[in-house]
């Protein structure tokens, strides 16, 4: 059976403007791969209500799980929670359990749980909280959508909280070979291997560094013996 599929929705004007480099997608892809969940799609949208709602609906309908990052903080432009509520057509308000988590955190740090910070306790009706051991403000899950902060350390902690609750498939195994030949020189061989090993993914990624060029050939699949066999055929085809 095919592994469950996942999508990621990255939310924030700062990503699209280039002010902030997103590292969460790279982390999530690696963690999902180890868990046997295939990340099939990543979208980046601005802090725009209609765009977020439309993307959440589309991704939720098209994949087994959706992970969002960004837009659940205390400022006016943190609109993700409201957009998720709109996408699922439920109400949103400050929830007692989320408020209690924040109250305990700010009491311990000597800071005030003011109106801005209380925004982070607004949770859509029917959602379950995602633990945040870093800064305490929780994320939440509603339906198959997991809503998380954009700060990498917090995002990573939330992913660690969510993954054990998801059913995965077979982890994706991979092997790679660096080939010091042009893509055009090895394209026919790779095409033959792709046809013979249709159950595997065979990718070719060119590189050039210090006047040396070539390609990294990566073979991926769930069956380790098939990956081994494809790599052996690749090496033979290249007379290595």
Rounded distance between C-alpha atoms, residue 78 and residue 227, angstroms: 44
Are 70 and 10 contacting, i.e. CB atoms less than 8 angstroms apart?
Answer: yes
Q: What average pLDDT does the structure give for the chain?
A: 95
Q: Per-residue pLDDT averaged across 106-127, rounded?
A: 96
Name 179's bridge partners. Answer: 215
Instruction: Quickly state the pLDDT bin for 157 (edges 50, 70, 90).
Output: very high
Give the tokens for residue 73: 């903080």
Are 71 and 38 contacting, i.e. CB atoms less than 8 angstroms apart?
Answer: no
Instruction: Quickly state the pLDDT bin for 210 (edges 50, 70, 90).
Output: confident
pLDDT in tens, 159-189: 999 999 999 988 889 999 999 999 999 999 9
Using CA of residue 62, residue 67, residue 72, residue 73, what is the dihedral sign? negative
Residue 209: predicted pLDDT: 84
Neighbours of 40 (CB within 10 A): 16
Residue 240: predicted pLDDT: 84
Domains of the chain: 5-165 (3.40.980.10), 173-237 (3.30.70.2860)
- As to burial, measured by CB atoms within 10 angstroms (0-12 exposed, 13-18 middle, 19+ buried), residue 98 is buried
In this model, does residue 1 exceed pLDDT 80? no
Q: Per-residue pLDDT averaged across 5-11, rounded?
A: 98
Q: Residue written as tokens 């955190």?
A: 105
Q: Diameter of the chain by CA atoms?
A: 69
Residue 91: predicted pLDDT: 98
């Amino acid at each position: 059976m095919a592994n469950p599929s996942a999508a990621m929705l990255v939310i924030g004007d700062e990503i699209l403007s280039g002010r902030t480099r997103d590292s969460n997608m790279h982390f999530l892809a690696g963690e999902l791969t180890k868990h046997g969940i295939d990340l099939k799609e990543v979208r980046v949208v601005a802090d725009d209500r209609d765009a977020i709602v439309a993307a959440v609906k589309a991704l939720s309908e098209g994949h087994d799980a959706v992970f969002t990052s960004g837009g659940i903080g205390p400022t006016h432009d943190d609109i993700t929670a409201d957009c998720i509520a709109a996408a699922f057509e439920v109400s949103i308000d400050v929830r007692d359990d989320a408020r209690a988590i924040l109250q305990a955190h700010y009491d311990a740090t000597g800071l005030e749980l003011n109106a801005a910070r209380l925004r982070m306790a607004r949770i859509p009706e029917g959602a379950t909280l995602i633990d945040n051991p870093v800064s305490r403000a929780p994320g939440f899950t509603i339906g198959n959508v997991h809503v998380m902060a954009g700060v990498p350390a917090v995002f990573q902690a939330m992913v660690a909280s969510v993954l054990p609750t998801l059913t995965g498939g077979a982890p994706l195994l991979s092997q790679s070979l660096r080939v010091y030949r042009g893509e055009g020189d090895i394209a026919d061989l790779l095409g033959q291997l792709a046809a013979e090993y249709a159950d595997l993914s065979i990718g070719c990624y060119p590189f050039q560094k210090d006047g040396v060029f070539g390609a990294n050939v990566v073979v991926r699949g769930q069956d380790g013996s098939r990956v081994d066999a494809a790599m052996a055929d690749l090496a033979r085809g290249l007379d290595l």
